[in-house]
Amino acid sequence: MELSRRLNLESRQVKFWFQNRRTQMKTQIERHENALLRQENDKLRTENMTIREAMRSPTCGNCGGAAVLGEVSLEEQHLRIENSRLKDELDRVCALAGKFLGRPVSAISSPLSLPSSLCSGLDLAVGSNNGFMGMGMQSIPDLMVGGSAAMRLPTGIMGGGLDDGLGGEGVAIDRGALLELGLAAMEELVKVTQVDDPLWQPSLDIGLETLNFDEYRRAFARVLGPSPAGYVSEATREVGIAIINSVDLVNSLMNEARWSEMFPCVVARASTMEIISSGMGGTRSGSIQLMRAELQVLSPLVPIREVTFLRFCKQHADGLWAIVDVSVDGVLRPDSGTGAGPAGYMGCRLLPSGCIVEDMQNGYAKVTWVVHAEYDEAAVHELY
C-alpha cells in the first residue's frame, strides 16, 4: 500500500508488476540454461563423431600404422566376464585356504590348483519376497554321487600339522583334511535346507519334518562314509523365527559358553579344542573350530552323547549365514573305531547338521535348523 501511494498506482498494478518481473526473470534463466545445454549437447556430438571416425580408421600408437580391430563376439565377451569373475573367486578361495592352513596358497601353482567344486561356490541370494527358501535363490551345485560332493582339495594345499592332543601322544592332523570335511559338510547342509518333498516329510507325531533316508541315500554322497555296525540314523528339520539379528546369533553359536546357555536342556557341556580360523575381515565368516560337546536328553534312561565335531561358519550373502557341525572322529582317530565310549556315554556322530540364518526386515532372523545324527541303538533303553 505504501509503495502504491508513493508511485501513485493502484495496489493491483504494483502486484502485477512484481509478478511480471518474476516471470520475466524465470524465462531469462531458463533461456540461459537451455543455451548451456545446447552447447554441451553440441560438444558431446562432436566428441562422438570424433570417436566414430577414430574407430573407422584406427592407428597403432607405436608405429602409427593402421590397426584393424577384430570383431569380438558376444559369447567371447561373456566368457571374458566369466573368466574375470572366476579369477576373483579363485583369489578369495586361496586367501581363505591360506588362512586355514597357516601358510600362503598360490593360485597359479599348478593347472589343477583349484577343483571345480570350489569354483562353483555356494553363493546364495536373499529373495526380496520369498527369502532363503523362495524361487529367488541362485542355483546350488548338486551333491549327487560322483559329483562335487567329494570336495577333493589338491595336494598343493594339503598339509600343515595340527596337534589335537586327543590320543594322549598328540596326533598330527592334516588341516587340509579338516577343511575338505568342512566344505563338503557345508555344501550338503545348504542343499538339504533347500530341498523339500520327497527328501523331507512332515511328521505329525513330533511336529517336525523328518528325513526320507531312502531318498537321501540316492541323492547324496556320504560325507563320513558308511554307518558303523549297529548305528541308526535320525534327522529332523524345522524353520522358526529368532528375536535376534543374524550377526548376534552367529556370534552366540560360535561361542561354546553362550551356545550352552542358549540350549541348557540339550548341551550339558561344551568346549572349544582348537580354533583353526577365527574368520576373515573381522567377522565370523570363514571361522572354523574343533569342538567337543556332551549332548543330553533330560532322562536317566538315555545316555549322554559325547561328540567331537568341526563347526564351520560361512557368510553366503549380506544377512545370510550358515553354520555346520560334522563329526571328525574319523579324521582325528581313524583307527579307533566308533565304540560306545566310557560308561554312561553313547556312541554317536554328527552328520552335516546346523542352521541357515537369514535376516528379516523387522530385525529378527529366520532360522532353518537341521539335525542329522547316527547313534548306537544298543545303548538306548527300550522305552525310547
42-51, 89-98, 113-122, 252-261: the lowest-pLDDT one: 113-122
Tally of CB atoms within 10 A around 153: 21
> pLDDT tens for residues 196-205?
888 999 988 8
Q: CB–CB of 249/322 below 8 Å?
A: no
Q: Which of the four pLDDT bands, split at 50, 70 and 90, describes residue 153?
A: very low
**Whole-angstrom distance, CA of residue 306 vs CA of residue 329:** 11
Helix (H) or strand (E) holding 349: strand 348-350
**137-140 contact pairs (CB < 8 A, 24+):** 137/194, 140/187, 140/190, 140/191, 140/194
Please name the residue ranges forming H helices in the chain.
Answer: 2-7, 11-56, 74-101, 116-120, 175-194, 213-219, 246-253, 256-262, 329-332
**75-79 contact pairs (CB < 8 A, 24+):** none
CA count, 13 A, side-chain hemisphere, 169:
2
Cell numbers linked to 383: 522305552
Mean pLDDT across 64-90 = 74
Residue with cell 555346520: 324
What is the DSSP track for 197-236?
Answer: TTTEEE-TTTSSEEE-HHHHHHH---TT-SPPTTEEEEEE
Question: What is the Rg, in whole angstroms, of the alpha carbon atoms belonging to the chain?
Answer: 32
- Of 139-148, 188-197, 248-257, the range with the highest mean pLDDT is 248-257
- Pick from 177, 182, 184: nearest CA to 160: 177
Q: Which of the four pLDDT bands, split at 50, 70 and 90, describes residue 324?
A: very high
Is it true that domain 80-379 has CATH number 3.40.50.300?
no
Q: What is the pLDDT of residue 57?
A: 72
**Whole-angstrom distance, CA of residue 71 vs CA of residue 52:** 16
Domain ranges of the chain: 2-55, 80-379
**Whole-angstrom distance, CA of residue 104 vs CA of residue 266:** 40
Q: What is the pTM of this model?
A: 0.59
Q: What is the pLDDT of residue 54?
A: 78
Average pLDDT, the chain: 76
Of the two residues 306 and 93, the one the predictor is more confident about is: 306
Tally of CB atoms within 10 A around 380: 15
**Whole-angstrom distance, CA of residue 124 vs CA of residue 136:** 9
**Whole-angstrom distance, CA of residue 234 vs CA of residue 294:** 17
Q: Which of the four pLDDT bands, split at 50, 70 and 90, describes residue 154?
A: very low
**Whole-angstrom distance, CA of residue 90 vs CA of residue 108:** 10
- Pick from 175, 176, 173, 181: nearest CA to 223: 181
Q: What is the pLDDT of residue 135?
A: 33
Q: What is the pLDDT of residue 206?
A: 78
Cell numbers linked to 78: 561373456
Mean pLDDT across 94-101 = 66
Cell numbers linked to 298: 533330560
56-65, 81-90, 157-166: the lowest-pLDDT one: 157-166
Q: What is the pLDDT of residue 260?
A: 93
